[in-house]
Amino acid sequence: MPSRTRRPVPFRSLRRVAIATLATVALGALTPATAAAATAPTGTPVSLRAASGAGVATPGDFSGYGFDQCLAPGQATMDRWLQTSPFLAVGIYISGDSRACRVQPNLTPTWVATQLAQGWRLLPITLGPQASCLSRFPRYGDDETINPATTSDYAAAKAQGVAEAVKAVGVAQSLGIVGGSTLWYDLEGFDATNTTCRESALSFLGGWTEQVRAQGYVSGVYSSAGSGIQELDRARQTRPTRFTLPDRIWVARWDGVANTSTSYIAEDGWRPGGRVKQYQGGHNETWGGVTINIDSNWLELGRPPAPSARSQCGTQVEFATYAGLRPAAAGKASGPGQVRALQCLLKKKKMYAGKLTGRYQPGLVKAVTSWQRRAGLASSPTWSRKAWQTLLASGTTPVLKIGSTGMAVRRVQRALNTKPGTRGPVDGVYGAATDTAVRAWQTRVGLDASGVVGTDDWAALVAGRR
């Protein structure tokens, strides 16, 4: 991808635009052809299929920030950026004779599995034969360019695209990138007014897409908004049967706006759920004390996330606010709904063995005091909002940020709502409102207001810091 240096756009200004987009975007299903290609034999859709790195289709369904860099970063950098940066997707150059980083010392099956297990979404990129009218290619002298021969509707160019897809899938499989994943072809900007150059490039991409799909992967194409992407969109509108069009597009438009819109193409193309935009070209960013040169991207891919479970143990555990609870003998009886929720959650922690009666009785008092001791709180027969926070936040501690989904997000959302006056969403989707609530809490307790829930943030939540 392009690597010319640009003045960095302040992240916070980009974040405001992207968060507004995240709050309003409604992602939908892929086309039937894509859905079929993106489905594993088990029938599980593109969404991540496992908590481990094995068998995870990537990037799956995801809306959020991503970055790409020529050389796959080392593990220490990936770990630090996971904990501190807004990014949760990363582009990696896995194949193609014309890529700038032919040698990728970090890119191994172990590297791929580790990133997927940690929650990173991967964007595997191939940069092979480029348009015949692009003067800076071939890059090395031994890398092909796209054949512009006009015989048989640019059959030679299409055959090259098929061959490149076969190679890319082979590399992807060797790295552990499974079927249902999106493989991206990087077609650098070219002179779209050159007919043979344009038509052969589109034929090449058609061959790429057909073969990628045939091997059980999803086809993506990266190109500049004003050339490759614009020509794909024109073909979509005026010659929809002439070329096989990709399932997803990655638009290079360095306008500094973290969304997936551009005036170069119509708004209806590859929507919903089929676009990425590279909104800033090569620039340095530093997160957690680690600086790398990256391109910045905003992703809107796949289906909307399904809400995680609202109830547990067959009872409601989510409330607009959480009240302090006390035994009936200590005064006015506590509300049975929240008492049942407390009984349920302590039962899941194996600290309460009774029934979900909704009554604050001696058996529950025993469980309450046991939890308080375990959480490092003062032992008391009463149950405070701080105690609620420690219990609601308790569990697995994955890094969460914009684009994260699932029960861990829901636990954070519940825990934040224990503070009086706080009424954030509880839907398992880390969007704009959750980002705002997390930052406000981080500021209040003296943590870096990054919007990223990392190791230190989980520790503070579980400790009841409010």
Are the beta carbons of 148 and 158 closer than 8 angstroms? Answer: no
Beta bridge partners of 202: none
Are the beta carbons of 277 and 256 closer than 8 angstroms? Answer: no
The pLDDT, as a whole number, for residue 53 is 58
DSSP 309: P
Tokens of 388: 């609620």
**Reported CATH class of domain 11-301:** alpha beta
Chunked in runs of 10, what are the mean pLDDT values of the chain (466 residues)?
40 41 35 35 35 78 96 98 98 98 97 97 98 96 96 94 98 98 98 98 98 98 98 98 97 98 98 97 98 98 76 87 84 83 96 95 95 96 96 97 94 93 86 94 96 97 95
The distance of Cα 53 from the centroid of its chain, to the nearest Å, equals: 15
Beta bridge partners of 312: 315
Query: Residue 106: what are its φ and ψ, rounded to 5°?
Result: -85, -20
The pLDDT, as a whole number, for residue 179 is 98
Residue entry with tokens 């960095």: 8
466/451 Cα distance (integer angstroms): 16
Are the beta carbons of 130 and 190 closer than 8 angstroms? Answer: yes
Q: Measure Cα distances from 250 to 56, 174, 219, 256, 301 in Å.
A: 21, 24, 11, 15, 10
> What residue ranges do the domains of the chain occupy?
11-301, 311-462
The pLDDT, as a whole number, for residue 1 is 61
The pLDDT, as a whole number, for residue 28 is 33
The pLDDT, as a whole number, for residue 254 is 98
Query: Do the domains spanning 11-301 and 311-462 agree at the CATH topology level?
Result: no
DSSP 341: H
The pLDDT, as a whole number, for residue 343 is 97
Q: Measure Cα distances from 30 to 35, 218, 275, 336 in Å.
A: 6, 10, 11, 44
b/e sequence 425-435, b meaning 16+ C-beta within 10 Å:
bbbbbbbbbbb
The pLDDT, as a whole number, for residue 39 is 34
Are the beta carbons of 430 and 405 closer than 8 angstroms? Answer: yes
Where is 32: in which H helix or E strand? helix 32-37
The pLDDT, as a whole number, for residue 204 is 98
365/341 Cα distance (integer angstroms): 14
Tokens of 344: 């349920």
Residue 466: closest CA among 368, 384, 372: 384
Tokens of 219: 């086809």
158/300 Cα distance (integer angstroms): 29
The pLDDT, as a whole number, for residue 422 is 77
The pLDDT, as a whole number, for residue 54 is 66
Superfamily of domain 311-462, CATH level 4: PGBD-like superfamily/PGBD (1.10.101.10)
